């Protein structure tokens, strides 16, 4: 019985498992260190994680949520698109003061949107890292199982052939059939 493909699959699975798990862990660390380097603290009026340094997926979500809350509060609940329409209408009506105020609110909402997108990108990165680590651990288990199976089959083949390993179909290692 040729066990080389089974052993090879076990070795490749183990190597890929190590690479996936290590890559996921390293990137998780990079994202964490980059977020922490920004020295962002979740404000006290956030829904959760108040006072936490933004350096993990939950604190990033908390910060993104409170940024949206503040942006919507500052724009009286109006979106970027709505503010643009209102500013154009105010300018067309000759109310430049209102148009300027709406444009300033629009800029604030736009900046909040950019910040939220960056924070959501880090949350997505954490998710991909967790997925890579999970796949890596699964591949490690699969590799171990395949190599264990190959070893077990090799032991069984040796026992069946009277101490020799069969190399071809029908080769009984010198044993005679009854």
Rounded Cα distance, 178 and 162, in Å: 15
Rounded Cα distance, 125 and 27, in Å: 8
Residue 172 domain flag: no
Residue 173 domain flag: no
What confidence tens digit (pLDDT) does each residue in 143-175 have? 999 999 999 998 886 666 655 555 555 555 555
Quote the number of domains for the chain: 1
Does pTM surpass 0.85? no
* pLDDT mean for each 10 residues of the chain (178 residues): 93 98 98 97 97 97 97 95 97 97 97 97 98 98 96 80 55 53
Residue 24 domain flag: yes
Rounded Cα distance, 148 and 139, in Å: 14
Residue 35 domain flag: yes
Residue 168 domain flag: no
- Could you list the residue range(s) of the whole structural domain that residue 93 is in? 4-160
Residue 62 domain flag: yes
- CB proximity list for 58: less than 8 A, separation 6 or greater: 48, 49
Residue 97: burial class (beta carbons within 10 Å; 0-12, 13-18, 19+): exposed
Residue 86 domain flag: yes
Q: 């980059």: which residue's tokens? A: 34
- CB proximity list for 14: less than 8 A, separation 6 or greater: 139, 140, 143, 144, 147
Residue 167 domain flag: no
């Amino acid at each position: 019985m040729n066990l080389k493909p089974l052993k090879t699959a076990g070795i490749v699975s183990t190597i890929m498992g190590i690479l996936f798990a290590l890559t996921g862990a390293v990137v998780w660390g990079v994202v964490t260190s980059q977020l922490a380097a920004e020295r962002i603290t979740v404000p006290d009026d956030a829904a959760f994680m108040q006072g936490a340094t933004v350096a993990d997926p939950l604190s990033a979500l908390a910060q993104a949520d409170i940024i949206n809350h503040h942006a919507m509060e500052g724009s009286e609940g109006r979106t970027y698109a709505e503010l643009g329409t209102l500013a154009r209408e105010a300018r067309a009506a000759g109310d430049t003061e209102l148009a300027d105020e709406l444009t300033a609110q629009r800029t604030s909402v736009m900046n909040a949107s950019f910040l939220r997108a960056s924070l959501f990108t880090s949350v997505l990165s954490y998710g991909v890292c967790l997925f890579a680590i999970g796949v890596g651990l699964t591949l490690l288990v699969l590799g171990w199982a395949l190599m264990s199976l190959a070893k077990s089959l090799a032991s069984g083949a040796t026992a069946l052939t009277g101490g020799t390993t069969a190399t071809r179909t029908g080769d009984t290692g010198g044993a005679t059939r009854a």
